[in-house]
Amino acid sequence: MPKSLDQLLSDAGLTASAPARVPVQSVTDCSRDAVPGSLFVAVRGTKTDARRFIPDAISRGAVAVVADGIDSMPEPARECLAARAGDVTLVAVPDARRALALLAHAWFDHPARALKVAGVTGTNGKTTVTHYLESIFKAAGLKPGVMGTIEYRSAETRSPALTTTPSPLVIAALLDRIRREGGRAAALEISSHGIDQARVDGLVFDAAIMTNLTRDHIDYHKTMEAYGAVKRRFFFSRAAGEEPRAAIFNADDAFSAGMAAEYRGRRFTYGIDHPADFAAFRIEEGERDSRFVMRTPDGGHCPVRLALPGRYNILNALAAAAAAVAMDIPISVIVQGLETMTVVPGRCQRIDVG
């Protein structure tokens, strides 16, 4: 259903003004996907400046363009906009990346507001934690969806992942699909690239999890300090109104534990080797499974049997349990969800060879 440009900007929380009469049929950040009535968001990428493709988007029927850096606009784009000023609206914003995220969620009528949304970041463990969360959500009857390194899926559809944390338009479309299918929860992997490139701006996470920080992605971030700084932004530098409702930190990881000590919002810690709100003891590690007793912040003790082996999977389970408690899911349901999750594709996956 088309939306008026001025209403779309207002719903996205963007202060830019636009003529009320401009109907928008779609929102895209790829000029090749523009159709008559499209709003084209021209994002300056790490390798390509999409403002170069403004003429292409307009030639395909775009009726409005959102862009930043107007003073440095490539000349062909500037000339095209000037020539089409009567029928193409230019919306100047301070940051086109953030504007894209806000517009994506506004276009789909803010589907995350109808869901419990957990975001998992950190170098290792994101995929397994989201799978544990999915299983917990299923046990709670929430018909969840998952987004991450392996695939993007709702209860009724799935597609291979292109990147761990995709474009805001893909994220918003997935959340909208989950909502339309009657789902009430989503577990999302949040990469450092996704944080740095504002792909998860505009989302409010009911639980945000920091698993750990180890050496990775130095090709992009250049230094471990820069890599860590991006992870911190997910917890400490969200825009007003977008702060996580609860933060979950790994007490056994020095970087994550340091963040926990600084964090002033609602937060839980988890760990095995260091004091934590959610802890595991009486650990029994087998070749095919893991058993432990989970201690919860209220002093409760819950025996848990995981179908996955390895101490690191106990930590992943504790992370998911902490997030689920933060989202008001009962402990009995959490244990059921942890115990019924049997496999994470490509993650210590058992293969029967006869």
Q: What is the pLDDT of residues 46-86, one digit of tens each?
A: 889 999 999 999 999 999 999 999 999 999 999 999 999 98
Residue 4 bridge partners (DSSP): 23
Mean pLDDT in residue range 236-246: 94
Please give the pLDDT value at position 343.
Answer: 85
Per-residue pLDDT tens over the stretch 104-119 = 999 999 999 999 999 9
**Residue 39, SS3 per DSSP:** strand
CB 295 within 8 A of CB 269: no
Entry pTM: 0.94
Q: What gap in Å lies between CA 277 and CA 256, rounded to an integer? A: 14
Please give the pLDDT value at position 312.
Answer: 95
* Residue ranges in the chain assigned as alpha helix (H): 5-11, 54-59, 75-83, 96-107, 126-139, 168-180, 192-196, 218-221, 224-236, 254-262, 311-326, 331-340
Per-residue pLDDT tens over the stretch 163-217 = 999 999 999 999 999 999 999 999 999 999 999 999 999 999 999 999 999 977 7
Burial class (CB in 10 A: 0-12, 13-18, 19+), 122: buried
State whether the Cα torsion 233-237-241-246 is positive or negative: positive
Residues 6+ away with beta carbon under 8 Å from 185: 115, 116, 117, 118, 133, 137, 140, 142, 143, 144, 145, 178, 327
Please give the pLDDT value at position 75.
Answer: 96
Percent of the chain with pLDDT over 90: 88
Could you tell me the domains of the chain? 3-106 (3.40.1390.10), 109-340 (3.40.1190.10)
CA nearest 100: which of 32, 177, 190, 9? 9
CB 228 within 8 A of CB 256: no
Q: What gap in Å lies between CA 44 and CA 119, rounded to an integer? A: 26
